[in-house]
Copies of this chain bind each other. A is one copy, B any other.
Amino acid sequence: MNDDLLSLEEFLPYRLNRLADAVSRDFSRLYRDRFGLTRPEWRLLATLGQYGTMTATAIGQHSAMHKTKVSRAVTALEERRWLRRAPDATDRRVEHLTLTKAGEDAYRELVPLAREFETRILEQMRPAEKSAIISGLAALERAMLQQRDHD
Protein backbone atom coordinates (compact mmCIF):
# COMPACT_ATOMS: atom_id res chain seq x y z
CA MET A 1 0.00 0.00 0.00
CA ASN A 2 1.57 3.21 -1.15
CA ASP A 3 0.05 6.14 0.70
CA ASP A 4 0.98 8.58 -2.04
CA LEU A 5 -0.94 6.71 -4.71
CA LEU A 6 -4.59 5.95 -5.14
CA SER A 7 -5.54 2.53 -6.44
CA LEU A 8 -8.27 3.40 -8.90
CA GLU A 9 -9.38 -0.23 -9.19
CA GLU A 10 -10.24 -0.27 -5.49
CA PHE A 11 -11.74 3.22 -5.36
CA LEU A 12 -15.46 3.11 -4.66
CA PRO A 13 -16.69 5.85 -7.04
CA TYR A 14 -14.66 4.38 -9.89
CA ARG A 15 -15.84 0.82 -9.26
CA LEU A 16 -19.46 1.89 -9.08
CA ASN A 17 -19.25 3.88 -12.29
CA ARG A 18 -17.47 1.15 -14.15
CA LEU A 19 -20.00 -1.44 -13.12
CA ALA A 20 -23.01 0.77 -13.71
CA ASP A 21 -21.71 1.60 -17.18
CA ALA A 22 -21.09 -2.02 -18.09
CA VAL A 23 -24.41 -3.28 -16.75
CA SER A 24 -26.35 -0.42 -18.29
CA ARG A 25 -24.78 -0.79 -21.68
CA ASP A 26 -25.64 -4.48 -21.77
CA PHE A 27 -29.14 -3.96 -20.48
CA SER A 28 -29.93 -1.02 -22.75
CA ARG A 29 -29.59 -3.32 -25.73
CA LEU A 30 -32.81 -5.00 -24.67
CA TYR A 31 -35.02 -1.93 -24.89
CA ARG A 32 -32.99 -0.25 -27.61
CA ASP A 33 -32.97 -3.14 -30.06
CA ARG A 34 -36.55 -4.15 -29.41
CA PHE A 35 -38.19 -0.73 -29.24
CA GLY A 36 -35.60 1.98 -29.90
CA LEU A 37 -36.09 3.38 -26.40
CA THR A 38 -33.57 5.61 -24.71
CA ARG A 39 -32.70 5.07 -21.07
CA PRO A 40 -34.87 7.93 -19.78
CA GLU A 41 -37.74 6.56 -21.84
CA TRP A 42 -37.25 3.09 -20.42
CA ARG A 43 -37.19 4.47 -16.90
CA LEU A 44 -40.35 6.45 -17.49
CA LEU A 45 -42.06 3.36 -18.88
CA ALA A 46 -40.86 1.25 -15.97
CA THR A 47 -41.99 3.79 -13.39
CA LEU A 48 -45.45 4.25 -14.86
CA GLY A 49 -45.78 0.51 -15.39
CA GLN A 50 -45.02 -0.11 -11.75
CA TYR A 51 -46.97 2.73 -10.17
CA GLY A 52 -49.74 3.56 -12.61
CA THR A 53 -50.66 7.24 -12.83
CA MET A 54 -48.06 9.78 -11.70
CA THR A 55 -47.09 13.40 -12.27
CA ALA A 56 -43.83 14.39 -13.96
CA THR A 57 -42.32 15.68 -10.73
CA ALA A 58 -43.14 12.49 -8.85
CA ILE A 59 -41.60 10.44 -11.64
CA GLY A 60 -38.44 12.51 -11.48
CA GLN A 61 -38.06 12.02 -7.75
CA HIS A 62 -38.88 8.37 -7.90
CA SER A 63 -36.71 7.39 -10.81
CA ALA A 64 -33.84 9.78 -10.03
CA MET A 65 -34.15 11.69 -13.27
CA HIS A 66 -33.71 15.38 -13.94
CA LYS A 67 -36.97 17.12 -14.79
CA THR A 68 -35.77 17.95 -18.31
CA LYS A 69 -35.10 14.26 -18.92
CA VAL A 70 -38.58 13.44 -17.71
CA SER A 71 -40.13 16.16 -19.83
CA ARG A 72 -38.41 14.95 -22.98
CA ALA A 73 -39.14 11.30 -22.29
CA VAL A 74 -42.81 12.13 -21.73
CA THR A 75 -42.96 13.93 -25.07
CA ALA A 76 -41.31 10.97 -26.78
CA LEU A 77 -43.62 8.33 -25.30
CA GLU A 78 -46.64 10.52 -25.93
CA GLU A 79 -45.72 10.72 -29.61
CA ARG A 80 -45.61 6.93 -29.69
CA ARG A 81 -49.06 6.91 -28.11
CA TRP A 82 -47.65 4.94 -25.18
CA LEU A 83 -48.89 7.39 -22.56
CA ARG A 84 -51.52 10.07 -22.23
CA ARG A 85 -51.69 13.22 -20.15
CA ALA A 86 -54.70 14.08 -18.05
CA PRO A 87 -55.27 17.42 -16.34
CA ASP A 88 -55.49 17.66 -12.59
CA ALA A 89 -58.90 18.58 -11.22
CA THR A 90 -57.65 21.36 -8.97
CA ASP A 91 -54.10 22.27 -10.07
CA ARG A 92 -53.75 23.21 -13.70
CA ARG A 93 -49.96 23.12 -13.65
CA VAL A 94 -49.99 19.39 -13.09
CA GLU A 95 -50.52 16.58 -15.57
CA HIS A 96 -51.29 13.03 -14.58
CA LEU A 97 -49.46 10.58 -16.79
CA THR A 98 -50.74 7.09 -17.52
CA LEU A 99 -49.64 4.36 -19.91
CA THR A 100 -51.96 3.56 -22.78
CA LYS A 101 -52.74 -0.01 -23.77
CA ALA A 102 -49.82 0.09 -26.19
CA GLY A 103 -47.52 1.34 -23.44
CA GLU A 104 -48.65 -1.39 -21.09
CA ASP A 105 -48.10 -3.98 -23.77
CA ALA A 106 -44.54 -2.83 -24.23
CA TYR A 107 -44.01 -2.80 -20.48
CA ARG A 108 -45.35 -6.34 -20.15
CA GLU A 109 -43.04 -7.43 -22.92
CA LEU A 110 -39.97 -5.84 -21.33
CA VAL A 111 -40.46 -6.91 -17.71
CA PRO A 112 -39.59 -10.58 -18.26
CA LEU A 113 -36.58 -9.59 -20.35
CA ALA A 114 -35.38 -7.34 -17.53
CA ARG A 115 -35.86 -10.14 -15.02
CA GLU A 116 -33.95 -12.59 -17.18
CA PHE A 117 -31.15 -10.11 -17.64
CA GLU A 118 -30.74 -9.67 -13.91
CA THR A 119 -31.00 -13.39 -13.29
CA ARG A 120 -28.36 -14.13 -15.90
CA ILE A 121 -25.89 -11.90 -14.04
CA LEU A 122 -26.74 -13.15 -10.56
CA GLU A 123 -26.52 -16.72 -11.79
CA GLN A 124 -22.79 -16.22 -12.24
CA MET A 125 -22.45 -15.56 -8.52
CA ARG A 126 -22.52 -17.84 -5.53
CA PRO A 127 -25.35 -17.44 -3.00
CA ALA A 128 -23.11 -15.70 -0.47
CA GLU A 129 -21.91 -13.30 -3.15
CA LYS A 130 -25.46 -12.55 -4.20
CA SER A 131 -26.45 -11.66 -0.66
CA ALA A 132 -23.31 -9.57 -0.33
CA ILE A 133 -24.01 -7.40 -3.36
CA ILE A 134 -27.72 -7.06 -2.59
CA SER A 135 -27.31 -6.09 1.05
CA GLY A 136 -24.11 -4.15 0.34
CA LEU A 137 -25.91 -1.92 -2.15
CA ALA A 138 -28.70 -1.38 0.36
CA ALA A 139 -26.20 -0.36 3.01
CA LEU A 140 -24.49 2.00 0.60
CA GLU A 141 -27.84 3.52 -0.32
CA ARG A 142 -28.47 4.19 3.37
CA ALA A 143 -24.98 5.62 3.81
CA MET A 144 -25.48 8.04 0.92
CA LEU A 145 -28.77 9.22 2.37
CA GLN A 146 -27.20 9.89 5.76
CA GLN A 147 -24.37 11.69 4.01
CA ARG A 148 -26.90 14.04 2.40
CA ASP A 149 -28.66 14.76 5.67
CA HIS A 150 -25.36 15.60 7.30
CA ASP A 151 -24.65 18.52 4.97
CB contact between A118 and one of B11, B22, B129 (< 8 Å): that residue: B11
Complex Cα distance, B115 from A7, in Å, reads 10
How distant is A68 from chain B, measured CB to nearest CB, in Å? Answer: 15
* A111 is an interface residue with CB less than 8 A from chain B: yes
- Cα separation A6 to B22 with both chains bound (whole Å): 21
Residues 8 to 34 of chain A near chain B (Cβ within 8 Å): 8, 11-24, 26-27
Residue A91 at the chain B interface, CB threshold 8 Å:
no
**Docked complex Cα distance between A130 and B46 (Å):** 31
Query: Taking CB as reference atom, which chain B residue is nearest A133?
Result: B136
A positions within 8 Å CB-CB of B: 4-8, 11-24, 26-27, 43, 46-47, 49-50, 62-64, 108, 111, 114-115, 117-118, 120-122, 124-126, 129-137, 139-144, 146-147
